[in-house]
Homo-oligomer: A and B are copies of this chain.
Amino acid sequence: MSKTEKALTISDLGEFGLIDHLTKDFTITDKKLIKGIGDDAAVFETGDICTLVTTDLLVEGIHFNLIYTPLKHLGYKAVVVNLSDLYAMNATPKYITVSIAVSRKFSVPALEQLYEGIKIACDRFGVELAGGDTTSSLSGLFINITAIGEAKKEDIVFRSGAKKNDLVCVSGDLGGSYCGLQLLEREKEVFIGDPAIQPKLDGFEYIVERQLKPEPRRDIIQKLKEAGIKPTSMIDISDGLSSEMLHLCKNSGCGCMIFEDKIPVHPQTEAASVMFGIDPSIAAMNGGEDYELLFTVPLDKKDIIEKLNDISIIGYIHEDKNTKLFVPRNGAELELKAQGWNPMKG
């Protein structure tokens, strides 16, 4: 690097750029490590079945605000965002480890609530707490959960298998979590101004819950299995549809066409978007934290997919990797760009 060149900053690179940059010298030599960095989870062969590992670090003030996040919900969410990554590999979650760093402001009863939420998630999704680490921090709460799952090698779905003409599908609806967050942030400001005022969340319960207590889509994985469909590629939507779609395209070496009018948006998301003066499609494309599944299936599965509830076909895979288009309702063709949430810009 020349001396006159400005040193790279972390926010120049962004989260994914930073990971790529820091890990570029780590070459995989172990043939049993089928997938390292660059998918929802790492995969390694252990006998007949593969073991999958994913990890997620949640930081107070960056990923959550305890003014409006109940610790029980936070514990639940911290687990399920990891399980979502395992489901996005078509794997079964089995174990988690939980590391927490807490400042002196936290009481034991507060941490009990956190672990209550962790336990509800473990029980609901059949996962065992296998270990962890507990220490103190100088300020704030840090939660790092690592989830371990398993799958038969032939069942695993990577980000890299999308093929020309495959249908692009999403589960559930998008943008709700982002709108729920906007609502909570608004009520936080009101509360800071006058703590006597009760939050106004009536009629928006669904999107608030999408933010505070997202559900990983185990049901979609099961539904696809029962229908005899193995997606050709899959990812969970944590950073917004645009960002995740670009990951699938990059990893699969293909392009895509995504149609605005096909993107599923909940009525509460529509209503909140109108209230905040946001285009609902922008919330859906760039909002993030929906933890829905984005996946591709071969075109000949169209009839089967259309019969499945809670799955929408939103576009198709284009063979040219430079053709990544978003088609708004007016029929124009815009380049698909990621404007998902970047935790490195804070």
Q: A residues engaging B (CB < 8 A)?
A: 7-10, 12-13, 15, 18-19, 21-23, 25-26, 28-30, 32-33, 36-37, 41-42, 44, 46-49, 51, 53-57, 59-63, 94-95, 97, 99-102, 104, 106-109, 111-112, 114-115, 119, 122, 128-140, 142, 144, 146, 148, 150, 343-344, 346
Verify A44–B130 contact, CB threshold 8 A: yes
Contact, CB under 8 Å: A137 / B49:
no
In angstroms, how far is the closest chain B Cβ from the Cβ of A125? 12
A–B pairs, 12, beta carbons within 8 Å = A9-B108, A42-B130, A46-B150, A51-B148, A53-B148, A54-B97, A56-B99, A57-B133, A57-B135, A59-B101, A104-B346, A136-B343
Do residues A36 and B131 form an inter-chain contact, with CB atoms below 8 A? yes
Q: Contacts A97-B53, A99-B55, A142-B57; is A134 near B104 (CB within 8 Å)?
A: no
Give the CA-CA distance A32 to B85 in the complex, in Å.
22
* Bound complex: CA A15 to CA B135 (Å): 7
State which of B22, B28, B99 has its C-beta within 8 Å of the C-beta of A111: B22
Selected from B25, B47, B144, the residue in CB contact (under 8 A) with A46 is B47
Cα A62 to Cα B138 in complex, Å, equals: 7
Q: Evaluate contact between A133 and B59: CB separation under 8 angstroms.
A: no
Interface pairs A-B: 8 shortest CB-CB? A47-B47, A42-B130, A46-B46, A144-B144, A57-B99, A8-B108, A42-B131, A146-B146
Please measure, in the bound complex, the distance between the C-alpha atom of A36 and the C-alpha atom of B129, giving whole angstroms.
Answer: 7
CB-CB nearest in chain B for A116: B25
Least distance between A215 CB and chain B CB atoms (Å): 21
Q: In whole Å, how far is A291's beta carbon from the nearest beta carbon of chain B?
A: 15
A26 touches B122 (CB 8 A): yes
